[in-house]
Amino acid sequence: MKPIFENDWADILHPEMQKPYYLELRRKLADEYRSRTVYPDMYRIFSAFHLTSFADTRVVILGQDPYHGPNQAHGLSFSVQPGIQVPPSLDNIYRELQDDLGCQPVRHGFLEHWAKQGVLLLNNVLTVRRGAAASHQGMGWEAFTDAAIAAINECETPVVFILWGRSAQEKGSFIDGTRHLILKSAHPSPRSADRGFFGSRPFSRTNAFLREKGLSEINWCLPESPEGLKEEGETTT
């Protein structure tokens, strides 16, 4: 079997893929992709790990599960493919980014610019059925992404964890807040953004922490035109 991860995530995640729960998840996913419409495309499930290596991870933004509309999800939390309308939650993220750092909102929702700087855009669950949010919860992805978060938590270099909403905050229960920075707020969804997301200033607070630790800051301002998508060769198996 061709290795899925060709960077340093391989040492962490390949062993995880040999565990019984993941083998069962793999079986279920094969059936789901064969019989239903599932997002993202199977060749983009692990895009977050391919674009942001373990060693380069400086920030983690944790989402719940992929967007469930056509052509939206491509393996990065909150990001959509070029040419797709910016979703409401991401539109609210752009509003907060403008208020926080003065970055002008862009007309696309493609966040690879962040991922390539060390922002791991990770969902708790990495796949979803078309039109059915949270439809792949409980299949086993949670244990897999727990393993990734646990590995980052053990890093000696401090990392910023941005946890929006209850689901993400539950995921952060085992993160060491004495070494890493944990930023919690309401989810940017229109249903909750007014309850603590707006005004939380996650972007400037992240950069202030990185600067204090002698680490490079993130350039959060996105380019006006989305960068080209790379063809990816990973599979779900």
The pLDDT tens digits along the chain (237 residues) read 578 999 999 999 999 999 999 999 999 999 999 999 999 999 999 999 999 999 999 999 999 999 999 999 999 999 999 999 999 999 999 999 999 999 999 999 999 999 999 999 999 999 999 999 999 999 999 999 999 999 999 999 999 999 999 989 998 888 999 999 999 999 999 999 999 999 999 999 999 999 999 999 999 999 999 864 443 334 443
CA distances from 24 to 29, 81, 101, 136, 152 (A): 9, 30, 44, 13, 25
Strand partners, 119: 59
- Residue 227: per-residue pLDDT: 65
- How confident is the model over 198-224, as pLDDT tens digits? 999 999 999 999 999 999 999 999 999
- Residue 237: per-residue pLDDT: 38
Average pLDDT, the chain: 94
Q: What does the alpha-carbon distance between residue 183 and residue 206 come to, in Å, rounded to a whole number? A: 8
Q: What does the alpha-carbon distance between residue 171 and residue 174 come to, in Å, rounded to a whole number? A: 7
- C-beta separation of 57 from 180 below 8 A: no
- How confident is the model over 53-65, as pLDDT tens digits? 999 999 999 999 9
Angle, CA of 213, 215 and 219, to the nearest 5°: 125
In single-letter form, the type of residue at position 62 comes to L
- Residue 1: per-residue pLDDT: 56
Contacts of 184 (CB under 8 A, 6+ apart): 163, 164, 169, 172
pTM given for the model: 0.94
- Which positions are catalytic? 65
- C-beta separation of 131 from 69 below 8 A: yes
Give all domains of the chain, ordered by start, each with its CATH number.
Answer: 8-213 (3.40.470.10)
